[in-house]
Amino acid sequence: MSNSMEIQRFPTPEAMQDAAAALVLEAARQAVAERGRCILALSGGRTPVGLYARLSAPPILAAMPWDRCHFFMADERLVPLDHEHSNFGQANRLLLSRVPVPAANLHPMPVDRPTPAQAARVHAEELSAFFGGPPVFDLVLLGLGPDGHTASLFPDRLALDAMGPVAGEPEPGLPPRTPRLTLTFEALNRARTVLFCATGSEKTALVDRISADPEEAAEDIPAARVRPAGRLLWFLAP
């Protein structure tokens, strides 16, 4: 477990997104140099939209080792991948379909299973086959909800204490209340780097609580339980 969170505060969301895009590029290059590939997990929500725009445009578009990058999702709603509420759908529209990443490197969660529990089992098997053991993501991009949730790990919900790398969340804490799938703390905390991006005073106040007393914050803020083996970065903006 890492003992510290690195917090960087930016004057604007745009400056934060610039820095996040630079960090993705740096992490991808480093992972490819060291291990031949970079394995990322993406999130949904509004916050990554500006990041996706930067990654899919010059100069980063030409600099990223796209053919060596593999994309998974940190969480997903059980809707078709082209549905407006699909996190993969958003990532695909705004990023993945605009960059030269091979289709074989895209690993959306299985959204066509009848229940979240079944979908979670299938994705756990997919992760195990891909990684050859427990998943170790090079970079996980996460957001923070106003209730302290991250990925689909909501306060007081079933997925919080799930065993294994993936959990079903039949009743998310916030709308849309579509059943979801999520990476668990077990999977997130094996990552080499986790980058949270969050904007607004409400979220900054949550992050201040996490940084002041992580143990206390972990009681009601799920994001406080993300303490990866590698680096834990928080990028914040107004």
* Positions in the binding site for ligand 6PG (CB under 6 A): 43-47, 74-75, 87, 143-145, 149-151
Q: How far is CA 34 from the centre of its chain?
A: 22
| CA angle centred on 79, ends 68 and 88, rounded to 5° | 20
CA–CA dist 158, 115 (Å, integer): 14
The one-character DSSP state at 236 is E
Residue 87 or 184: which CB sits closer to ligand 6PG?
87
Q: Report in angstroms how near the CB of residue 19 gets to ligand 6PG at its nearest.
A: 16
173 Cβ contact partners less than 8 Å away, ≥ 6 residues apart: 145, 147, 149, 154, 155, 156, 157
Of 68 and 166, the one with the shorter C-beta distance to ligand 6PG is 166
Q: Tell me whether residue 52 or residue 66 sits nearer to ligand 6PG (CB atom).
A: 52
**75 vs 138, which CB is nearer to ligand 6PG?**
75
Distances (CA, A) of 137 to 64, 176, 195: 17, 27, 12
Residue with tokens 């074989």: 104
**Cβ 31 to ligand 6PG shortest distance, Å:** 22
Q: Which is nearer to ligand 6PG, 48 or 68 (CB)?
A: 48
What contacts 96, CB < 8 A, 6 or more positions away?
71, 106
Longest dimension (CA), the chain: 45
189-220: buried (b, 16+ CB within 10 Å) or exposed (e) per residue?
bbbbbbbbbbbeeebbebbebbeeebeebbee
- Minimum CB distance to ligand 6PG smaller for 24 or for 68: 24
- Tell the smallest beta-carbon distance from residue 13 to ligand 6PG (Å): 11
CB of 79 to ligand 6PG, least distance (A): 11
